[in-house]
Structure 1
Amino acid sequence: MGSERKIERALISVTDKTGIVEFAQELVEKFGVEIISTGGTARTLEEAGVPVTPIEQFTGYPEMMDGRVKTLHPKVHGALLARRDSEQHMAEAAEHDIKLIDLVCVNLYEFEKTVSDPNVTFEDAIEHIDIGGPSMLRSAAKNNDAVTVICDPADYAPVLEEMSVHCGSTTKVTRRRLAAKVFARTAAYDTAISTWFSSYLELQSRAIDPDDPFEPPALLDLHLTKVQDLRYGENPHQAAAVYQLDGELANLVSSANPLVGAEQIQGKPLSYNNLLDADAAWNAVREFDEPACVILKHQNPCGSAVAADVTTAYDRAFACDPKSAFGGIIAVNREVPLSLVEHFADQNKQFVEVLIAPSYTPEALERLSRRQNLRVLATGGAEGHATLELRSVDGGVLVQCVDTVEEDPSEFTCPTIRKPTDKEMRDLVFAWNVVKTVKSNAILVAKDQAGIGMGPGQPNRVDSALLACERAEDACERMGVEASGFVAASDAFFPFRDNVDVLAEHGVTAIIQPGGSVRDDESIKACDDHDIAMIFTGTRHFRH
């Protein structure tokens, strides 16, 4: 059997009609191909003057049941599946008047787009599950020795070009490449449906019992589409790429304004490390309702602050640790004005890898354009968090609910004799929002709602406390302010009183931590000994 197959008859039925008229016109006018088509696609082609055989004329049966049944017919699938090198198949095709189809051009009902709408109804989602389309694609792809199958408008031009070179035929190499693409598409489509259905059932069960906590689904089908190749991964010898989750699962692992999908307004391509750090910074700054800025380096917020506006918040965040801010990521949760750009670019002359924000004023963008290498990302908003997060481990994937527990400071408890002042309480709540974004074991020292000292990722909490206090004292010396009036946040409980003793020695007057240690009494006594107020939140915030 030869590897080239001449296309004499094509079946076209598409939801995305991009380029379909031009494709069909060339098939007919240049190669004399007979076009069979369905419903809206047939009308589109007829209105453009392309001769079309309606599907009901081809099969001898009308479209029925609101279009649910139109191509599920032996004259369609027999025409696609018949082996051209089988005498039996060809005899049966002739006996039943089955005219062979050589090319199938189908793309599917937009199920993924439909269910991405949070207000979609169950009934509407179900009606957007394509049955005939995947069936035709799979039949044609299975018989790729004889049938050319197209599911992506991007393949129209290459197929036409190959037909021109090969006198109206396609090659086996091309048919097999297109068949592989079809099976990937139908697999992704079925995964999207399965994931949506599982998610819908989970939400229904929660609606029946609203006190039932969310549980990761028993079956989690992952389908990832490559967004772009990266120059390399964490190190130059590691290959890397960015993938985007498709279908309903994307709604669970993406916020309303995710990093992947943000508009890159300018700058060099994002690197693997840029993306990791930008994601951490973007998630950190969205912990705040008030205008906030987080400057992040190597997965840790080296500067953080809130203020009346984002420019002031940036100034205060930069002052926390200007040395570490060099080459970092800046994230803000409000529109970026010109003043913020002037402050980091002109006043501080800060080298910045990535700037991420909901939006930018025209004046800010004009000034940013003078730093062409700076990667500028606009997310369109700062609302919401994902529901699930995924992390790969050797041989599997860890899945957990995102750390977005609702915490009401009025429900925190204070077990110490001294209670925090109103100012201390504001600083404690600020520090508590930041410490959850610091790598554990995490201690954050704050003053005036700015994170001036950070102790991340140490093997023991005492070292984290020492590091955070030393950095806070250095920050105060740089800023010319008194190294006192500190508050401290710990992402997990204190196992011994030594943590409190260290913090007290360095001027901390109030502490916030989850509580829950078997030695909480020791920490409470240490606070009372040092006249420190301590708050228990009841919730741990490890970040590994």
Structure 2
Amino acid sequence: MTDTTFAPKRALISVSDKSGLDRLGRFLKSKGVEILSTGGTARALADMGCDVTEVSDHTGSPEMMDGRVKTLHPKIHGGILGLRDAESHVKAMKDHDIAPIDLVIINLYPFEQTVAAGADRTTAIENIDIGGPAMIRSAAKNHRFVAIVTDPADYDGLMEQWRNEGGLTLDFREHLAAKAFARTGAYDSAITAWFAGQSDEMPGRFAVSAGPAQPLRYGENPHQMAAFYPSGDLRPGVASARQLQGKALSYNNLNDTDAAYELVAEFDARDAAAVAIIKHANPCGVATGPSVAEAYARALACDPVSAFGGIIALNRPLEADAAAKITEIFTEVIIAPGASEAAIEIVAKKKNLRLLLTDGLPDPAAPGLAYKALAGGVLAQSRDNGRVTKSGLRIVTKRAPSDAEMADMIFAFRVAKHVKSNAIVYVRGQRTVGIGAGQMSRVDSARIAARKAEDAREAAGDAESWTKGSVVASDAFFPFADGLLAAVEAGATAVIQPGGSVRDNEVIAAADEAGLAMAFTGMRHFRH
């Protein structure tokens, strides 16, 4: 055994997650380790037959203030932080009767889980651990002489190394220290994010709590490394879903599935079934219907070519008839609030098709922050939770839209919110018939959407243009009348757009001349 490897003689254990504690307790007992502990952990260890000294007995100071003050004591932190090779430290420990503590096993009050469960403010604050992070950081800083364990998953590694090496090596202690600092950093970030969520202002400093990492085979491309870091947010979606079958999700699957589910959640399941089909983070078909099967058929018709290998999101549980239709073509992922047993059996026949169940839909109006990494920094903004309603629209043309046009306009603008800019969406009868996404020119998006609508019509064998009598949504204002005129050429009869261009009057005049109805939302939905 080298001089950097040692066998701990005294351990301090205080854990909220008691998984694996029985095996660890028995192991430490077999090694003759003196155990200090607190509260429920001490009782659990005693019940396992371990000899335990209560921290209050060790320090000579009782727990107080409902347990807020128990380990914040020189006999605890001096025992952890003291340098065993510094004469002044050794003398201070002897003078003040401070016994060395060379193994610290801590996991923290479950702040993240408490907040995720919807706890009130008082409960959330009471679950902010103070003594735990202080001990973790103390032990991690002094890892030359102290081993710190913050994750029950490391118990087996600790016991195995102790058996094989006669103690814990410096390399292993450094590894545990790095994990410990990552844990307290993530914990503090979760608290910071929670406080930021209580405010109407952007936080002064940016902090994200995420992890542990879930490794992915690669990123957007095979030469890129990637991992998924769950934030602990309980917002229903790809991060919280149960995967019933299929191979592991890829980086692109995760990104596209998130985009699909956020889009389909725009449509209230109590009003109608809704289906969104996504490819490369853009919708290639969105529709509502009296059933999921009918909504899927209507969404698929918009662009059956692009739907091959796509992601399908539902706002209602998956039933057998819809599952049978969806599995007729190659699909990467289905995400839904639930699924019937019959539907699950049908999907199971496609072994590579992933089925994700979430038990709920995300709230499109809920607040939150969205992030984007840049070279040298991070952009943060509030989530785009803006939603248009009939009462919020301003009719700017001589002709007002009919009730059917108005319903389609609101549908189209909600879809456009989830299409990469510049975005143009044609809708007729509560289903997309043409989508133009991600073009540098808005008029190009209008023309591409119309062309794709014509391709889909031909594939379906219909005689009449699908964009004739449709409505068109633009995610931002028309800077010139040319984009609007492209929609007129396609046969659109009504337009919904934010307005706000210096040429609004020119665009309104063109709409009036063409006999269109047009509404301004006053709200833009750029998506980059």
TM range (shorter): over 0.9
1:366 and 2:345 correspond: yes
Shift of 1:374: 0.7
Shift of 1:417: 2.0
Q: Given residue 16 of structure 1, which amino acid in structure 2 is its aligned partner?
A: D
Secondary structure, counterpart of 1:400 in structure 2: strand
Match of 1:332 among 314, 319, 323: 314
Q: Specify the alignment match of 1:128 in structure 2.
A: 127
Correspondence 1:267-416 to 2 at 5 A: 267-289=246-268, 290-345=272-327, 349-385=328-364, 387-416=368-397
Q: Is the 8 A contact 1:226 1:241 kept in 2?
A: no
Q: Is the 8 A contact 2:476 2:524 kept in 1?
A: yes
Task: Describe the superposition over 1:135-167 as per-residue Cα deviations: whole angstroms up to 9, x where unpaired.
Answer: 222222222112122111111121112222233
Match of 1:241 among 212, 227, 237: 227
Correspondence 1:41-440 to 2 at 5 A: 41-122=41-122, 124-167=123-166, 169-200=167-198, 202=199, 214-246=200-232, 250=233, 256-289=235-268, 290-345=272-327, 349-385=328-364, 387-440=368-421
Identify unmatched segments of 5+ residues in structure 1. 203-213
Partner Cα distance (1:140, 1:521) in 2: 69
Greater Cα offset, 503-512 or 333-342? 503-512
Q: Specify the alignment match of 2:493 in structure 1.
A: 509
What is the aligned residue count?
A: 519
Cα separation, partners in 2 of 1:406 and 1:215, compared to 1, 3 Å = farther
Shift of 1:502: 2.1
Secondary structure, counterpart of 1:32 in structure 2: coil
Secondary structure, counterpart of 1:398 in structure 2: strand
Q: Given residue 126 of structure 2, which amino acid in structure 1 is its aligned partner?
A: E
Cα separation, partners in 2 of 1:194 and 1:441, compared to 1, 3 Å = closer
Q: Given residue 130 of structure 2, which amino acid in structure 1 is its aligned partner?
A: I
Q: Given residue 479 of structure 2, which amino acid in structure 1 is its aligned partner?
A: P
Task: Describe the superposition over 1:478-537 as per-residue Cα deviations: whole angstroms up to 9, x where unpaired.
Answer: 331521222211111112222232222221111111122222222222222222211222
Cα separation, partners in 2 of 1:104 and 1:257, compared to 1, 3 Å = same
Secondary structure, counterpart of 2:16 in structure 1: coil
Cα separation, partners in 2 of 1:232 and 1:136, compared to 1, 3 Å = same
Secondary structure, counterpart of 2:394 in structure 1: coil
Q: Specify the alignment match of 1:205 in structure 2.
A: none
Q: Specify the alignment match of 2:504 in structure 1.
A: 520
Shift of 1:220: 2.2
What TM-score do you get using the length of structure 2 for normalisation?
0.94
Partner Cα distance (1:118, 1:189) in 2: 17
Q: Is the 8 A contact 2:25 2:48 kept in 1?
A: no
Q: Given residue 485 of structure 2, which amino acid in structure 1 is its aligned partner?
A: D
Tell me the C-alpha RMSD between the 2 structures. Answer: 1.8
Identity %: 50
Partner Cα distance (2:161, 2:511) in 1: 79
Correspondence 1:441-480 to 2 at 5 A: 441-479=422-460, 480=462
Cα separation, partners in 2 of 1:234 and 1:413, compared to 1, 3 Å = same
Q: Is the 8 A contact 2:388 2:414 kept in 1?
A: no
Identify unmatched segments of 5+ residues in structure 2. none
Partner Cα distance (2:113, 2:73) in 1: 28
Cα separation, partners in 2 of 1:80 and 1:482, compared to 1, 3 Å = same
Partner Cα distance (1:228, 1:150) in 2: 20
Task: Describe the superposition over 1:417-465 as per-residue Cα deviations: whole angstroms up to 9, x where unpaired.
Answer: 2222222222222111111211111111112111111111222122211
Shift of 1:263: 1.4
Secondary structure, counterpart of 2:118 in structure 1: coil
Q: Is the 8 A contact 2:387 2:414 kept in 1?
A: no
Q: Given residue 189 of structure 2, which amino acid in structure 1 is its aligned partner?
A: T
Greater Cα offset, 305-314 or 223-232? 223-232
Q: Given residue 60 of structure 1, which amino acid in structure 2 is its aligned partner?
A: G
Shift of 1:372: 0.7
Q: Specify the alignment match of 1:8 in structure 2.
A: 9
Cα separation, partners in 2 of 1:46 and 1:518, compared to 1, 3 Å = same
Cα separation, partners in 2 of 1:522 and 1:4, compared to 1, 3 Å = same
Partner Cα distance (2:88, 2:399) in 1: 92
Shift of 1:83: 1.9
Cα separation, partners in 2 of 1:149 and 1:198, compared to 1, 3 Å = same
Q: Given residue 158 of structure 1, which amino acid in structure 2 is its aligned partner?
A: G
Cα separation, partners in 2 of 1:316 and 1:71, compared to 1, 3 Å = same
Partner Cα distance (1:307, 1:481) in 2: 23
Q: Is the 8 A contact 2:237 2:362 kept in 1?
A: no
Q: Given residue 519 of structure 1, which amino acid in structure 2 is its aligned partner?
A: R
Q: Is the 8 A contact 1:439 1:457 kept in 2?
A: yes
Shift of 1:365: 0.5
Cα separation, partners in 2 of 1:501 and 1:94, compared to 1, 3 Å = closer
Partner Cα distance (1:502, 1:54) in 2: 78
